[in-house]
Amino acid sequence: MRVIVVGAGVVGTMHAWHAVERGHEVVQIERESEARGASLRNFGQIWVSGRAGGEELDTALRARELWEGIGARVPGLGFRANGSLTLVRNERERAVAEAALARPDAAARGYKLLDAAEARGLNPALRGEFTAALWCERDAAVEPRTAQLRLREELLKSARYTFLPGREVRDVVGPGAVRDDHGDVHTGDAVVLCTGAWLGGLVRELAPELPVRRVRLQMMQTAPLGEPLTTSVADADSFRYYPAYKSPALDDLNAGQAQTPTAAAHKMQLLMVQRADGGLTIGDTHEYEHPFAFDTLEDPYDHLTEVVEGFLGRPLPKIRRRWAGVYAQCVDTTRVVHREQVRDGVWLVTGPGGRGMTCSPAIAEKTADELGW
């Protein structure tokens, strides 16, 4: 078959990967010289721990397996099975962690409740104040700013793969056929639009009632820490934002322990991952109301710095970068992704939300299976 993939973010690149792996010819079209959206502006976490049970967890676990296999073939992805620690400071937060341990799928996630000493044994950089930690063995990480580049380098080794950057697809001109802004028509047995948070233009014309919204976040990255942060780290505010932690204990936490005003105002949680250069990627906020602000606000960064320094027991290194990003999320947040045939031979795959980096290999695999690649 001949497959046209529109979009070179992680979801589009994984669709190209599966198609080439299955022996098909692939043309991948990207409107920028390289993808610049949410696929780069994230933590690089393969985040199993907080996923909803059922389809979402199954997708994340399958994706984790695929990431590990691809990472073995493409070392430049920076795949590492580092696991995660969600740190708790009091009995209310600990009760939410204990409720998670009682889930029937807790073993599949690799959950274990550790005391502070055991958590520091796994991650000695955590010298600050906390009482316990929920360990998730199945979590992992890759390098988000370079993962697509390394995947493409591997894809380009195949004579069946062509990458066309700097071209924006403008029209569907027939079954499995699209025209770009250079006037060139690209025809295949299937066209897959993986346009990320670009939901206007052609996407709006093809799917005017698309049940997907855009979400904006803020993040930052530090200079090298000077020591390993051997696991990903989250705080107990993350319990409030991930469906795996829903329980009466979480209801009690929400009712009896408010977030700080800054965290509540910006719908914040702490997630933190160490990059290959030793720096820390730290976030994040959530903004849902349009139009989004164009500013990056300082209060969220101050809050995150305070939380991280409390856990590390030391000052953060210098902040080297701050940025905002926008991703596409299904309005029905229980759905892993929106996959829709929008024209004869043309499919739209979008809206994975914060699951995109985690689940993209399995999302693409399911597309390939459903389309009979």
Q: What is the pLDDT of residues 40-77, one digit of tens each?
A: 899 999 999 999 999 999 999 999 999 999 999 999 99
d(CA 198, CA 327): 9
d(CA 342, CA 340): 6
What is the DSSP secondary structure assignment for residue 352, as one 8-state letter?
Answer: B
pLDDT at 58: 98
Instruction: Spell out the residues 6+ positions from residue 373 whose beta carbon is closer than 8 angstroms to its own.
Output: 1, 3, 18, 19, 22, 24, 190
Which residue type does 112 have? K
Tens of pLDDT, residues 182-221: 999 999 999 999 999 999 999 999 999 999 999 999 999 9
Task: State the distance between the two ends of the chain, measured CA to CA, in whole angstroms.
Answer: 7
CATH of domain 1-81+139-210+335-373: 3.50.50.60
Backbone CA torsion sign across 190, 142, 195, 353? positive
d(CA 8, CA 223): 28
Q: What is the rounded average pLDDT for all residues in the chain?
A: 97
pLDDT at 90: 97
Count of CB atoms situated within 10 Å of the CB of 335: 18
Distances (CA, A) of 370 to 55, 190, 213: 16, 12, 25
d(CA 78, CA 277): 11
CATH topology of domain 84-137+212-330: D-Amino Acid Oxidase; Chain A, domain 2 (3.30.9)
Structure tokens at 16: 């190209």
Structure tokens at 339: 């996959």
d(CA 13, CA 28): 8
pLDDT at 293: 87
Q: Alpha helices, DSSP H only, in the chain?
A: 10-21, 55-73, 91-101, 106-109, 116-122, 144-155, 202-206, 248-256, 261-265, 298-312, 356-370
* Domain ranges across the chain: 1-81+139-210+335-373, 84-137+212-330
* Helix, strand or coil, per DSSP, at residue 254: helix
Residue numbers of the chain with a pLDDT score lower than 50 = none
